[in-house]
Amino acid sequence: MALRYDAGEVITAMVTPFNEKREIDYSKAEELTKYLIAHGSDAILVGGTTGEGPTLTHEEDLELLSTVRRASENKVKVIMNAGSNCTATAIRTAKLAEKEDVDALLSVVPYYNKPNQKGMIEHFSAMAESTHLPIILYNIPGRTGVNMKPETVAELANKYENIVAIKQSYPDMDAVTEMKLLCPSDFSVYSGDDSLTLPMLALGARGVVSVASHIFGSEIKSMIRNYKTGEFLAALNMHKKLYPSFRKFFMAPNPIPVKAVLAHKGIMEEYVRRPLVELTEEEKADLFKTIDSFYDL
């Protein structure tokens, strides 16, 4: 079946590397992009929550996007975060992304304002009508305070050809089923939580927008491939093996733990921007014990 837009099965929500002054380390961003491509990522999301997007300036967003685009050498899709609780700001970001020749946009349900379903429809309709770029909706009630209903997703997906997918970060499997029933068959659903990837694949999800793929990209890709080729037991065994790490990556606000593991692996520094803070030594010891034990199982 042809999809409206195919970003692949493993979209990595890339962290933003900072130096000790908490300025963006663009050379590390370039290295990390190449590392992710070599380890299972089909697409890279720039400036999302995992990328500490709320702390980046527009200038940093664009420079980071340009860096990742250049480093990717067109081997993977590059997606830019264009979410805002202000519709005008989201549209302005989308237009900036167009100039940077980005492949697609990720746009979160407006946060803090807590719009109702009609407000969400008007927000995303305005976005869809303002850009030719593919738009991936992002539903994460834990951060936005509101939940986008399957009926709302379906109304947008049926009306706008460039609303192509949703990142669903909400553990409601009935909602996923309802989306698959109500939305066009060429509209994609992605898990927004690593630990829900396998259950959502069983309901027809395309793949995952992942944090854990920074470390376990090839393993997550293998799990998805095994499931889709009928190797269900192999997929389940990999899910069970990865599950403790999936949970540990959220022992503290994202992306603090995954940055600590990337530093532990010698890939980049662990620095995060305030108001986030790095893990304590005790927390890191607990985290690394779980992550390292994956290879002993």
- Third-level CATH fold of 10-230: TIM Barrel (3.20.20)
3-state secondary structure the chain: CCCCCCCCCEEEECCCCECCCCCECHHHHHHHHHHHHHCCCCEEEECCCCCCHHHCCHHHHHHHHHHHHHHHCCCCEEEEECCCCCHHHHHHHHHHHHHCCCCEEEEECCCCCCCCHHHHHHHHHHHHHHCCCCEEEEECHHHHCCCCCHHHHHHHHHHCCCEEEEEECCCCHHHHHHHHHHCCCCCEEEECCHHHHHHHHCCCCCEEEECCHHHHHHHHHHHHHHHHCCCHHHHHHHHHHHHHHHHHCCCCCCCHHHHHHHHHCCCCCCCCCCCCCCCCHHHHHHHHHHHHHHHHC
Residues 41-83 pLDDT 10s: 999 999 999 999 999 998 999 999 999 999 999 999 999 999 9
Q: What is the pLDDT of residue 1?
A: 66
Q: With cut-offs at 50, 70 and 90, classify the pLDDT of residue 244.
A: very high
Q: Which residues are catalytic?
A: 138, 167
Q: What is the pLDDT of residue 61?
A: 93
Residue 296 confidence (pLDDT) above 80:
no
What is d(CA 176, CA 191) in angstroms, rounded to the nearest whole number? 9
Q: What percent of the chain has pLDDT over 70?
A: 99
Residues 119-175 pLDDT 10s: 999 999 999 999 999 999 999 999 999 999 999 999 999 999 999 999 999 999 999
Q: What is the pLDDT of residue 101?
A: 86
Domain edges within the chain? 10-230
**Please, what is the average pLDDT of the chain?**
97
